[in-house]
Structure 1
């Protein structure tokens, strides 16, 4: 217990999905200690003076309580501080759910979290927190970010990947620094550690002018149109034009993400040709997406009506 809240000094789970408790002893969990979830710490049974061991579970699970299998983690809503190396070596952690208003994220908190690429940030008030800027600066890989705003509004963004490379320049006795990948501006489009969606959308045309991953571009454009928070008309027109040129790929994306609710909107947005619709129908049949298949067949027959073809053998 510290300052009206609880600090978790160590936490372990044998499960692939876990949520840290919102409160303990009637107090909110407000801090994670240094190396709190590092797998190699879980074997140490000693506790600092004044610390208490607590079992929080929905039913005992099999396996070692060491976080080595942890793939999805939810942090407490009132968490304010994350200590140094808090998630060190959580190598298979892929998804992190947390509040956007965390005030301090320690050094090396994500060291060796090589699989982390999906963030769900919840914002409780009107002001934007600094957590997204911190993650975008720490992780150069592609990030799929969902922001849950007050009132139920959702923003979903893609931050494309880039790479940083240091090469030793022996004659000059120094290292040369190189950046490659069109995603660098997206990871650094923050002002005062706050993201402006207008600036984010303003990077789109330059992004297409550089060497980039076409699948990342498709997902970025679709996410902005699917969740169009603060989306200006000029940017929306650019995104629509891009999706219209790749209507077949966009249909495949929506089917693969099982976003059936958005399918009618995408069909209206892109007006795919007959070949793209037929290919999408085939994919829906393969995956058993019956509702999506019905919508696609209806669109196919509405736009390309054809009588039943008959053949006769005499």
Structure 2
């Protein structure tokens, strides 16, 4: 696990003004005041752990401000503060020991796309993420393998990328949950509505047991992705599991490797589009590159004017497939 991913909040970046109330031996946050929508919440206030977010904390029309105010180290230079709520909220880093998210805590925060949290939180309150568009989740597992990830992905039909950091093993997993949605189609002769399911995401959202992600079951869903998703989605999912193979079985690993070997050109083009140097390096290190695949990636980099990527790929191709010097015989 890389050092920069270890739980470490810089005090000067923590939300400068927090409204709260005391509950038992902990703190419940009721409102946050700052200057932008990227909110980092403190782990402690006045020596007590922050354990809860009140209902409707970040909702637009929320009026419960609690009875106490905490000012962080950044309060002095963040003087033009206002309540952060609704569509302004974009990312939230939750407290380390939070165990409760009140109902509708992020109600209609339409631009909230990112959550960072620890495994102390096992469930979200009813409708907590209603109206949100969560696409990126980072969970720090300090005590085991249970988390509220299922609660999050169940509320979101959109594609979600999850970074899962397991402290005890010092390992990291990167997991993609594809998008899914339901469509009601009328069967006129029978006078009934039939529900049609689209996308592989619904299958992946069932890969949990007792709040733990079942990696074996997740990996067995690959055929659904191949059948129902765009090839770039499959490429991302496969590369995630091979590059960060946490709890990856040998049989499932071979299935991923086979797909990648047969679709290296498409994977290379996807990585060029994302400017993912680590992924391109992985293809080289693990021996997936063919000359045709490299030419395809170079063409994509040239067409998209990604000069850094293009330079890297040209250099790699020269190392792997050097042109033979012409020989002249007298």
Pair 1:53 & 2:93 matched: no
Q: What's the CA shift string for 1:82-133, capped at 9, x where partnerless?
A: 00000011111111101123134110000000x21110011111x2224011
Output the TM-score relative to the length of structure 2: 0.80
**8 Å CA contact 1:243, 1:270 repeated in 2:** no
Residue 265 (structure 1) aligns with: 282
Output the TM-score relative to the length of structure 1: 0.84
Residue 11 (structure 1) aligns with: 32
Question: 1-side partners of 2:27 and 2:176: how far apart?
Answer: 34
Q: Alignment RMSD, CA only? A: 2.8
Pair 1:117 & 2:135 matched: yes
Question: 1-side partners of 2:79 and 2:108: how far apart?
Answer: 22
- Decide whether aligned partners of structure 1 residues 252 and 193 sit closer, same or farther in structure 2, where only a CA change above 3 A counts: same
Pair 1:201 & 2:219 matched: yes
What's the CA shift for 1:173? 8.3
Residue 217 (structure 1) aligns with: 234
Pair 1:96 & 2:115 matched: yes
Residue 181 (structure 2) aligns with: 163
- Decide whether aligned partners of structure 1 residues 116 and 2 sit closer, same or farther in structure 2, where only a CA change above 3 A counts: same
Question: 2-side partners of 1:61 and 1:298: how far apart?
Answer: 50
Q: Which ranges in structure 1 are unaligned for 5 or more consecutive residues?
A: 310-314
**8 Å CA contact 2:239, 2:279 repeated in 1:** no
**8 Å CA contact 1:240, 1:269 repeated in 2:** no
Q: Which ranges in structure 2 are unaligned for 5 or more consecutive residues?
A: 1-21
What's the CA shift for 1:303? 3.2
Residue 312 (structure 1) aligns with: none
What's the CA shift for 1:256? 4.1
- Decide whether aligned partners of structure 1 residues 3 and 63 sit closer, same or farther in structure 2, where only a CA change above 3 A counts: closer
Whichever structure has more strand as a proportion of its residues is: 2
Aligned residue among 201, 207, 219 for 1:189:
207
**8 Å CA contact 1:91, 1:112 repeated in 2:** yes
- Decide whether aligned partners of structure 1 residues 193 and 271 sit closer, same or farther in structure 2, where only a CA change above 3 A counts: closer
Question: 2-side partners of 1:217 and 1:259: how far apart?
Answer: 16
Deviates more, 1:254-263 or 1:26-35: 254-263
Residue 33 (structure 1) aligns with: 54
DSSP-derived class of the 2:106 partner: coil
Question: 2-side partners of 1:92 and 1:61: how far apart?
Answer: 24
Pair 1:236 & 2:257 matched: no
- Decide whether aligned partners of structure 1 residues 259 and 207 sit closer, same or farther in structure 2, where only a CA change above 3 A counts: closer
What's the CA shift for 1:169? 7.5
- Decide whether aligned partners of structure 1 residues 174 and 262 sit closer, same or farther in structure 2, where only a CA change above 3 A counts: closer
Question: 1-side partners of 2:301 and 2:225: how far apart?
Answer: 31
DSSP-derived class of the 1:105 partner: coil
Pair 1:251 & 2:268 matched: yes
